[in-house]
Amino acid sequence: MKTIGVLDLQGGVAEHLDHFARLGAPARRVKQAADFHDLAGLVIPGGESTCLMRLMRILGTDEAILAAHRGGAKLWGTCAGAILLASRVVGEDPKLGLMDIEIERNAFGSQLDSFACTAVIPCVADEEIPLTFIRAPKILRAGPGVTILHRQAGAIAMAETADVLVTTFHPELTPCLAFHRYFARKCGLQPPEPRAGTDPSWSRASWTRQAPIT
């Protein structure tokens, strides 16, 4: 069965898993290199990109991601995940470098400048959908092979290639399933058509069902 992995090192792991579960798309946590078998796609969640990369190198996850990508797995980086996937990062060396974009971390401002808004992104949904920006980066430039899907305040906030998707905002922090549905379809899965309005199975604590057992 085709499965989507969510990189379980830091950030909104449980929230992404909750969205895929409500969507009816199979998803699981991945952490060690051995976890990356049979993935149709992989989500690299938001968090802190320097910390994420350090943990990835310690665990060998960076090489596992590159191998999964070479093997055909689609990748989706949200916020810090987008920084890790960029080929150019302002003021520092790139990390995975799998998308031809230049990105600047914290470019929307500090934690106090975080904000929520709505937008219409036609390829994702016909209606307005919520976006949440938290200490968000900005994509400053995109190469010729990159399709720009949304701009926010003049900066690129969502872009894709055939095998990589990046969002500088956090779709997992809203009730909306549209972005997870879009990525699942990119991975070759066929989740059901959306319901009208907000998914009634969501609550502000629904993600706790996906919290790790300790």
| 69 included as an active-site residue | no
Instruction: Establish how many alpha carbons lie within 13 A of residue 202's alpha carbon, considering only the half-sphere containing its beta carbon.
Output: 19
Select the more confidently predicted residue: 206 or 153: 153
Chain centre distance of CA 152: 17
**Catalytic annotation, pick one of 172, 176, 180, 187:** 172
Domain ranges in the chain? 3-210
- Taking only the tens place, the pLDDT of each residue in 155-187 is 999 999 999 999 999 999 999 999 999 999 999
Distance (Å, whole) CA 193 – CA 198:
13
Distance (Å, whole) CA 131 – CA 100:
23
| 170 included as an active-site residue | yes
Distance (Å, whole) CA 69 – CA 145:
17
pTM of the model: 0.91
- Taking only the tens place, the pLDDT of each residue in 130-151 is 999 998 999 999 999 999 999 9
Share of the chain above pLDDT 70, in %: 90
43-48: average pLDDT: 90
**Catalytic annotation, pick one of 15, 79, 176, 180:** 79
| 123 included as an active-site residue | no
Side chain identity at residue 200, one-letter code:
P
Q: How confident is the model at residue 80 (pLDDT cuts 50, 70, 90)?
A: very high
* Integer-rounded Cα radius of gyration of the chain: 16
**Catalytic annotation, pick one of 16, 19, 170, 180:** 170
Q: Which CATH number fits domain 3-210: 3.20.20.190, 3.65.10.10, 3.40.50.880, 3.10.520.10?
A: 3.40.50.880
Distance (Å, whole) CA 143 – CA 95:
17
Q: What does pLDDT average to over the chain?
A: 90
